[in-house]
Structure 1
Amino acid sequence: MAHSLNVRDRPVTTVLVVEDEPLQRLSLMDLLEEAGYQVADASDADQALIILENRPDIRIVLADVDMPGSMDGLRLAALVRDRWPPIEIIVTSGRGIPQLSAIPARAMFLPKPLNEQRVKEALLLFS
């Protein structure tokens, strides 16, 4: 008898949500926690880098492209790809689709408004 693999059947994956809009960040965190993921959060790229340096359990970074601070989500994604190659990356934006060349290798882009099912499917690809 075949059994489908459910997120709860696997070791828990930790996702770092990087989003400057508090309500969007909290909503995304709730979605991920309900789907069985551990969640860490940051309001900008600088805070995300501090978390990544101190949390070796982070496996996926889900970052908004448009953020205030020293770098946007695309620059953060490029830095993550260089410094932590095994970490998977999902970038998102409500202001259009970035050029393909701006998105790091193996990273995925999801347009806003985020669709719950598409977010879950993207995470399953990386979990």
Structure 2
Amino acid sequence: MSPAHDRTHNGSPSVLIVDDEIIERTSTAETLKNAGFYTVDACNVAEAVFALEMVSGIRVVLTDIDLRDSLDGIVLAACVDRRWPSVGIIMTSGKIEPMPGDVPSRACFLRKPYCEARMLATVRGMIEQSVP
């Protein structure tokens, strides 16, 4: 997870990016930072939960579904839905189409590859809907 324990966000909304592919994480983080967001990244569910517990102010979790771990993005989305009800959830995948019951009611699904503008609009929409 990086940056670890950084609580200074300079007023920027924070997005947790969860993807086991470093190139995807880095690219997504760069896009979000260029749009004015603060980002935290994780490569698996355990790191993501740790980040949510340790970094204050995360407003949206943007997670890939296929994390090549024993726990996947579907498990993470359910966990976030239960434990952090004010955090928006965006699930993504280019391989897996989630079943309707796999996506929490307040979450959304973006199929990869997605255009940056659509991803940014979805993140902004989640932040507008969430309670800080």
Q: Same fold (TM over 0.5)?
A: yes
Which TM-score applies when normalising by structure 1?
Answer: 0.88
- Once the two structures are TM-superposed, the CA of residue 19 in structure 1 deviates from its matched residue by 0.5
1:38-72 deviation line (CA, Å, top 9, x unaligned):
00000111110111111121110000000022310
What one-letter code is carried by the residue in structure 1 that aligns with 2:90?
I
The correspondence of residues 43-122 of structure 1 with structure 2, limited to 5 A, is 43-122=43-122
| Matched residue count | 117
Root mean square deviation of aligned Cα: 1.0
Moved over 3 A (4+): none
Contact 2:93 2:110 in 1 (8 A): yes
- Once the two structures are TM-superposed, the CA of residue 31 in structure 1 deviates from its matched residue by 0.3
Contact 1:66 1:72 in 2 (8 A): yes
Which TM-score applies when normalising by structure 2?
Answer: 0.85
The correspondence of residues 20-39 of structure 1 with structure 2, limited to 5 A, is 20-39=20-39
What residue ranges of structure 1 are gaps of 5+ in the alignment? 1-10
d(CA) in 2 for partners of 1:102, 1:69? 17
Give the greater-gyration-radius structure (CA): 1
